[in-house]
Amino acid sequence: MTIKFEDITDHTGIIINNFDASRDVNDKKIFQIRELIQKKHFICFRNQNLNEDTLLNFARQFGTLESYPEKDKTKKNIQIFNVANVSSEGDHLSEDDPRVVLQKNNSRWHTDSSYRFYPALFSLLYGKEILPKEAVGGQTQFCNMLLAYDDLPKEMKEKLQPLHQVHSYNDIRRLEPSLPELSIEEKQGFPPVTHPLIRIHPDRNMTKSLFFTSNTSLEIGGMSFKEGKELHSWLVNYIENKKFHLTHDWQINDLIMWDNRVLLHRVIPYDYSKYRRAMIRGTVEGTTPVYGPFSQIN
Ligand SMILES: [Fe+2]
């Protein structure tokens, strides 16, 4: 049976109801899912019943998976990233626990692993515990950066063309000073990198998108720190326009998958001490650096 889907908006997102990611994995269906995500960037698979192993097995169909040797992120498997205010043992963590502070930082626009030389390609996030219907917040919101680029004023496109943003795992501490210092190994494992603010997509006829994050560093290479922060704030404010957005309201047992090359995402803040929110993520590694307007691609 072929996969049936419904569009969420004309530019981003589809919902699939008739696919079981723990069982229906075959070449034909994976090919179809690849085609769908290339076109719409976000897929919600409803009614899944996954554990760490079956989530990773499905994610692996799309490429090599990222590992997370960093502290406090792994459960049984080093390729699982905990997106939770709940510990691996199931305890609801206090608001000042560094693991919860990192969750709060995720309410800033970002792509996963932008601080790596090859940022993540696809993320697959499975909702094990979600907020009750009456709660405020907890949605995952996305911003389509192909649209955001297209809509930029011409002068801003020109201004951004030669610029790169610094992405630094360590710089999260500038934004969230209560986080403990990184270990030497963590610092050495993830030195700062830069990526172009305008990203070229060779698999989309060299289309351009905006590419920046607000959960790591605010520095723009080639500008003073102050000037860079001002430009960065302008960009963050610019993408608040709802016409670029898709907001995912979680249902229990949703699995969502998105293309980090095209979409930024963030969690809408919620009452972290009142509600439990526990999700597990498998992440497909990027296969190329972020190509910019002046990259020699071939
Ligand atoms: Fe994320």
pLDDT in tens, 220-259: 999 999 999 999 999 999 999 999 999 999 999 999 999 9
Instruction: Answer whether residue 120 is part of any domain.
Output: yes
In the reported structure, the alpha carbon of residue 245 is separated from the centroid of ligand 1 by a whole-number distance in angstroms of 16
Instruction: Answer whether residue 291 is part of any domain.
Output: no
What is the CB-side half-sphere exposure of residue 263 using CA atoms within 13 A?
27
In the reported structure, the alpha carbon of residue 95 is separated from the centroid of ligand 1 by a whole-number distance in angstroms of 19
Predicted TM-score (pTM) of this structure: 0.95
- Give residue 297's pLDDT: 86
- Give residue 2's pLDDT: 84
- Total domains in the fold of the chain: 1
- Give residue 68's pLDDT: 79
Residue 169 belongs to domain spanning? 5-284
Give the separation between CA 154 and CA 164, rounded to whole angstroms: 18
Instruction: Answer whether residue 294 is part of any domain.
Output: no
- Give residue 74's pLDDT: 55
- Give residue 27's pLDDT: 93
Instruction: Answer whether residue 110 is part of any domain.
Output: yes
Instruction: Answer whether residue 295 is part of any domain.
Output: no
In the reported structure, the alpha carbon of residue 155 is separated from the centroid of ligand 1 by a whole-number distance in angstroms of 31
Q: What's the gap between Cα 86 and its chain centre? A: 20
CA distance to 133, 172, 203, 282, 290, per residue, from 115 (Å) = 34, 10, 23, 17, 12
According to DSSP H, which parts of 212-268 are helical?
Answer: 225-238
In the reported structure, the alpha carbon of residue 253 is separated from the centroid of ligand 1 by a whole-number distance in angstroms of 18
- Give residue 24's pLDDT: 84
In which band, very low, low, confident or very high, does the pLDDT at 45 lie, cut at 50, 70 and 90? very high
In the reported structure, the alpha carbon of residue 298 is separated from the centroid of ligand 1 by a whole-number distance in angstroms of 31
In the reported structure, the alpha carbon of residue 240 is separated from the centroid of ligand 1 by a whole-number distance in angstroms of 17
Instruction: Answer whether residue 296 is part of any domain.
Output: no
pLDDT in tens, 105-144: 999 999 999 999 999 999 999 999 999 999 999 999 999 9
pLDDT above 90 for 273: yes
Instruction: Answer whether residue 85 is part of any domain.
Output: yes
- Give residue 298's pLDDT: 76
Lowest mean pLDDT among 4-8, 80-84, 198-202: 80-84
In the reported structure, the alpha carbon of residue 123 is separated from the centroid of ligand 1 by a whole-number distance in angstroms of 8
188 versus 283: the higher-pLDDT residue is 283
Contacting residues for 149 by C-beta, under 8 A, at least 6 apart: 157, 198, 208, 209, 210
- Give residue 69's pLDDT: 65
CATH number at residue 34: 3.60.130.10
**Phi and psi of 155, rounded to 5°?**
-65, -35
In the reported structure, the alpha carbon of residue 106 is separated from the centroid of ligand 1 by a whole-number distance in angstroms of 6
Give the separation between CA 32 and CA 27, rounded to whole angstroms: 9
Instruction: Answer whether residue 10 is part of any domain.
Output: yes
- Give residue 72's pLDDT: 57
In the reported structure, the alpha carbon of residue 54 is separated from the centroid of ligand 1 by a whole-number distance in angstroms of 20
- From its phi and psi, is residue 239 left (phi > 0), alpha (psi between -120 and 50) or beta? alpha
Q: Are the C-beta atoms of 52 and 65 separated by less than 8 Å?
A: no
In the reported structure, the alpha carbon of residue 103 is separated from the centroid of ligand 1 by a whole-number distance in angstroms of 9
- Give residue 77's pLDDT: 84
Task: Please report the DSSP string for 37-71 in residue order.
Answer: HHHHSEEEE-S----HHHHHHHHGGGSPBP---ST
- Give residue 186's pLDDT: 83
- Give residue 125's pLDDT: 98
